[in-house]
């Protein structure tokens, strides 16, 4: 029952993703309303950490690269206090001290130290075309794809690192440091393919936003640029599929987190203490996620070396979150951080937490506020990309008719 969409270069076989397509209008409108609310629009982030991998000189001087921050006094007291006290609950073992950031063993990303950074109103800093491009942007993407190859990171020949056994078992194509930006071949294991799909889907989603909210530098007008979308995404049908793939992965995480998210306290004032009202939009989003979030996480990390592979998967994803500090454009870095944190939160929920851990009664402080905010905003980004794809499909159909 796969439906084939044949509309020139914008074609994809939706199969598993078809159900996501069918609910996306509803999903997008709920998410769009939800991310405008105070709980979900304020994100605390330290955008000025040094790039840990290379000397980053590519700062974007474009006006669109800048962001506006919010004075902390505008943020409800409760969220400020809550984040600080939650950080303090981490013990030395759980918290790996790194300059300006930390992670717990189960985390798939480095989180900001909550005592540093600024609050940003995400609704005032939309992710769109900024003009950030050239060697700096390419270096970041290239290191996300190439420097983080499975079986390669942190290893030197003869090292007694336990990852060596994984390295030896890898197909030749994965041992190259200059892996081409293409879908892995069929020899690659499921986990490696999933890793690539996640990154490529994120990249395609960001490209879709850039093309959807593009600045025509001749006329100075903002609007969708069909040719940009065709060049960057639609000419590579697999990239489009990976946007769906990420959306399904995030929905599955939201579905699993349903009881936890429903019990979360979204009120910013102490007058609502104990009265954890779940926003109506979120209830609907959880319902949709439970109906269509059909990602089967139990298929992953099952075979030989499963635990080593999982550890490496996690370390690579943490590296991706640190590579975000090398993005030379504040607004791109902000959204890069939001989305890598959102995907990392989903991965943690899918691969690290069992039903007991997800139980809000036994584990009320499971996620930091920034993780919940990032997860929902990231799902919103992907859902918006799928909505934009439809707009581009219509634009393409019109061009076709005219020819
Ligand atoms: P790039 O998008 O830079 O891609 C580089 C190469 O990667 C391509 O040549 C292609 O070979 C390969 N590639 C491209 N897409 C995929 C894919 N989906 N899967 C696999 N391989 C692929 N710019 C903005 O205007 N606004 C933003 O908000 C923004 N956010 C960014 C966030 C991050 C984290 C980064 C690293 C960059 C961001 N940029 C942003 C820059 C933007 O992503 C592009 O790098 C830039 O527009 C230049 O695009 P490009 O066409 O040269 O190719």
pLDDT digits (tens, 9 = 90+) for 259-314: 999 999 887 654 444 445 789 999 999 999 999 888 888 888 887 788 888 888 89
Predicted pLDDT at 226: 96
Please indicate, yes or no, whether the overall pTM of this predicted structure exceeds 0.90. no
Above 80 in pLDDT, residue 17? no
Above 70 in pLDDT, residue 228? yes
Residue nearest to atom 45 of ligand 1 (CA): 137
Average pLDDT of the residues in 19-31: 94
Above 70 in pLDDT, residue 379? yes
Strand partners, 69: 120
Q: Model confidence at 139, in pLDDT bands (50, 70, 90)? A: very high
Q: Model confidence at 343, in pLDDT bands (50, 70, 90)? A: very high
- Residues of the chain with pLDDT > 90, as a percent, come to 47
Predicted pLDDT at 148: 52
> Does residue 129 line the site of ligand 1, with CB under 6 A?
yes
More confident residue, 206 or 115: 206
Q: Which atom of ligand 1 is nearest to the CA of 140?
A: 36
Q: How many whole angstroms from 90 Cα to the centroid of ligand 1?
A: 36
Helices then strands (H, E): number in the chain? 15, 9
Of 291, 289, 286, 297, nearest to 251 by C-alpha is 289
pLDDT tens per residue, range 387-398: 999 999 999 998
Chain mean pLDDT for the chain: 80
Least confident window among 18-32, 207-221, 255-269: 255-269
Q: Which atom of ligand 1 is nearest to the CA of 242?
A: 18
Respond yes or no: is residue 332 known to be catalytic.
yes
Respond yes or no: is residue 60 known to be catalytic.
no
> Does residue 206 line the site of ligand 1, with CB under 6 A?
yes
Residue nearest to atom 17 of ligand 1 (CA): 200
Q: How many whole angstroms from 344 Cα to the centroid of ligand 1?
A: 20
Contacts 24+ apart (CB under 8 A), 13-21: 13/241, 14/244, 16/244, 16/248, 16/294, 17/241, 17/244, 17/245, 17/247, 17/248, 19/291, 19/292, 19/294, 20/244, 20/247, 20/248, 20/251, 20/292, 20/386, 21/244, 21/386
The vertex-150 CA angle with 149 and 152, nearest 5°, equals: 70
> Does residue 133 line the site of ligand 1, with CB under 6 A?
yes
Above 80 in pLDDT, residue 38? yes
Residue nearest to atom 11 of ligand 1 (CA): 181
Q: How many whole angstroms from 156 Cα to the centroid of ligand 1?
A: 30
Of 43, 51, 44, 120, nearest to 321 by C-alpha is 51
> Does residue 196 line the site of ligand 1, with CB under 6 A?
no
Above 90 in pLDDT, residue 87? no
Q: Which residue has the tokens 């605390």?
A: 44
Average pLDDT of the residues in 348-355: 93
Above 50 in pLDDT, residue 185? no
**Rg from Cα positions in the chain:** 21
pLDDT tens per residue, range 101-114: 677 788 888 887 66
Joined tokens for residue 345 = 């939160």
Predicted pLDDT at 101: 64
Q: How many whole angstroms from 247 Cα to the centroid of ligand 1?
A: 19
Residue nearest to atom 46 of ligand 1 (CA): 133
Q: Model confidence at 161, in pLDDT bands (50, 70, 90)? A: very low
> Does residue 141 line the site of ligand 1, with CB under 6 A?
yes
Evaluate whether 360 touches 263 at the Cβ level (below 8 Å): yes
Residue whose CB lies within 8 A of the most ligand 1 atoms, among 206, 330, 340, for a mutation test: 206
Predicted pLDDT at 4: 43
Above 70 in pLDDT, residue 171? no
Q: Model confidence at 166, in pLDDT bands (50, 70, 90)? A: very low
Above 80 in pLDDT, residue 400? no
First to last CA, the chain: 32
Task: Tell me how far apart the alpha carbons of residues 147 and 127 are, in angstroms, rounded to a whole number.
Answer: 26
ipTM higher than the 0.85 cut: yes
Average pLDDT of the residues in 210-215: 97
Predicted pLDDT at 270: 47
């Amino acid at each position: 029952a796969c439906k084939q969409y044949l509309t020139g270069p914008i074609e994809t076989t939706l199969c598993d993703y078809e159900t996501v397509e069918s609910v996306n209008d509803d999903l997008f409108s709920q998410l769009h309303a939800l991310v405008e609310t105070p709980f979900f629009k304020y994100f605390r982030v330290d955008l000025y950490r040094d790039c840990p991998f290379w000397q980053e000189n590519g700062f974007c001087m474009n006006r669109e690269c800048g962001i506006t921050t919010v004075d902390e006094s505008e943020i409800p007291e409760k969220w400020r206090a809550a984040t600080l006290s939650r950080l303090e609950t981490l013990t030395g073992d759980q918290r790996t001290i790194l300059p300006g950031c930390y992670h717990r063993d189960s985390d798939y990303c480095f989180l900001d130290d909550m005592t540093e950074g600024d609050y940003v109103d995400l609704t005032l800093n939309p992710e769109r075309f900024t003009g950030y491009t050239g060697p700096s942007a390419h270096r970041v993407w290239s290191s996300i794809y190439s420097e983080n190859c499975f079986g390669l990171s942190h290893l030197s020949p003869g090292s007694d690192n336990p990852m060596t056994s994984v390295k030896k078992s890898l197909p030749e194509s994965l041992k190259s440091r200059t892996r081409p930006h293409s879908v892995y071949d069929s020899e690659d294991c499921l986990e490696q393919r999933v890793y690539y799909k996640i990154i490529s889907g994120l990249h395609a989603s960001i490209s879709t936003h850039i093309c959807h909210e593009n600045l025509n530098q001749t006329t100075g007008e903002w609007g969708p640029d069909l040719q940009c979308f065709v060049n960057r995404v639609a000419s590579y049908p697999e990239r489009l599929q990976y946007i769906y793939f990420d959306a399904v992965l995030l929905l599955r995480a939201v579905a699993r987190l349903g009881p936890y998210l429903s019990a979360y306290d979204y009120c910013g004032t102490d007058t609502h203490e104990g009265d954890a009202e779940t926003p109506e939009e979120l209830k609907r989003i959880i319902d949709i996620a439970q109906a269509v979030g059909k990602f089967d996480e139990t298929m992953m990390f099952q075979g030989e070396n499963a635990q080593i592979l999982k550890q490496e998967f996690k370390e690579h994803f943490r590296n991706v979150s640190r590579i975000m500090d090398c993005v030379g454009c504040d607004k791109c870095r902000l959204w890069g951080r939001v989305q890598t944190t959102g995907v990392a939160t989903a991965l943690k929920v899918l691969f690290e937490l069992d039903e007991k851990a997800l139980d809000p009664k036994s584990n009320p402080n499971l996620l930091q506020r920034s993780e919940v905010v990032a997860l929902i905003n990231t799902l919103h980004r992907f859902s918006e990309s799928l909505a934009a794809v439809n707009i581009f499909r219509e634009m393409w159909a019109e061009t076709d008719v005219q020819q």
